[in-house]
Copies of this chain bind each other. A is one copy, B any other.
Amino acid sequence: MTLNVGVIGVGMIGQDHIRRITQVLSGADVVAVTDVDLDRARTVADGVADARLHVTGEELIADDSVDAVVVCSWGETHEQYVLASIDAGKPVFCEKPLATTQQACERILSAETGAGRRLVQVGYMRRYDAAYRALRDVVQGGTIGLPLMMHCTHRNPSVPGYYRKESAITDTAVHEIDMVRWMFDEEIAATTVLVPRKSRNGGELQDPLVLLLEMDSGILVDVEISVNIRYGYDIRGEVVGENGTAALGEASPVRIRSAGLVSDRVAADWRERFIGAYDVEFQEWIDALRSGGELGPSTWDGYAAAIVSNAALEAMRSGMRTPVKLPSRPDLYGG
């Protein structure tokens, strides 16, 4: 039984997910699309056999042939489509962020807990990356003793023109914010933002930044955020334990000896680095919906990420250590 998916928002990421569902993965099909730009939606629909065009997300959600919804539209619109999906009792995969305000996240929390079952999955794909998973297995397996610290780097070669200073938290470090909650199975208690010397590659932007995250247990995470570092897209992470450390491996398909150097390759961008993680993320989502298995990152995860991001933004503005105030976790999310 094929899972019939409707996709709301068919920009770059939406189109990539359609390609993934229709040409790469097993067990699902795209049967409906829509977009705020209807011409674009029509073009995309024309390229997918059997995909119907809808003029609104709400119409798509209401379509009886749609078993599950994928939301890749502009962040401001996530709330309405997720709420409508919950209302229709349909599973919904929502690209990050879950919503753009704390209040919006809380409305979604409230709707889903009201429905009494999980319908929402948020698109934190790092949890599906083979290297992060292997790292988490090592950390949780005890090889290095209790984890005490984690050093992360999140480096982009460049960022688009619309990237603002807040983006360093809400677009970039938000991946690490979710990742460490999952890595250590605990919440973030406080954040601080440190400001190093400024790169001239970033123009007006303060780049790089360092985000400090203090976990509930006291684990201290530092995240270097460098978004104009030219040389490549470089995601690293090393967990420091009592007796040793464990780090993400560095994968390069080839090693070249040339001109005085032995060189491995760095990924050019996030697509190259995480394409496998996106594939696994969607295959596991499809499999979970088809077989009744467990869903991935939840509304609660999206909400927690929003709360921590807000604290980090406040820390950035104030220059002060800023506690994270998270309400207690509802039962639906393992609270």
Contact = CB atoms under 8 A, between A and B. Distances in A.
A222 B196 CA distance: 11
Contacts of A201: 145, 242-243
B253 A130 contact: yes
B257 A231 contact: yes
Interface string A205-226: 0001010100101111010101
Given A196-B219, A212-B194, A256 B143 contact: yes
A55 to B, nearest CB: 28
Interface in A176-212: 194-201, 208, 210, 212
B250 A232 contact: no
A293 to B, nearest CB: 13
A242 B254 contact: no
A134 interface: yes
Number of this chain's copies in the assembly equals 4
A174 B260 CA distance: 24
Interface stretch (A23-31, A34-42, A60-68, A91-99): A23-31
B253 A131 contact: yes
A104 interface: no
Is the contact region of chain A dominated by helix, strand, or loop, or is it mixed?
mixed
A249 B258 contact: no
A328 interface: no
A12 interface: no
25 contacts: A23-B287, A131-B254, A134-B253, A135-B253, A135-B254, A146-B199, A149-B196, A151-B151, A194-B212, A196-B218, A229-B242, A229-B243, A231-B261, A234-B257, A243-B258, A244-B257, A248-B254, A249-B251, A250-B262, A251-B252, A257-B266, A261-B263, A261-B265, A262-B263, A263-B263
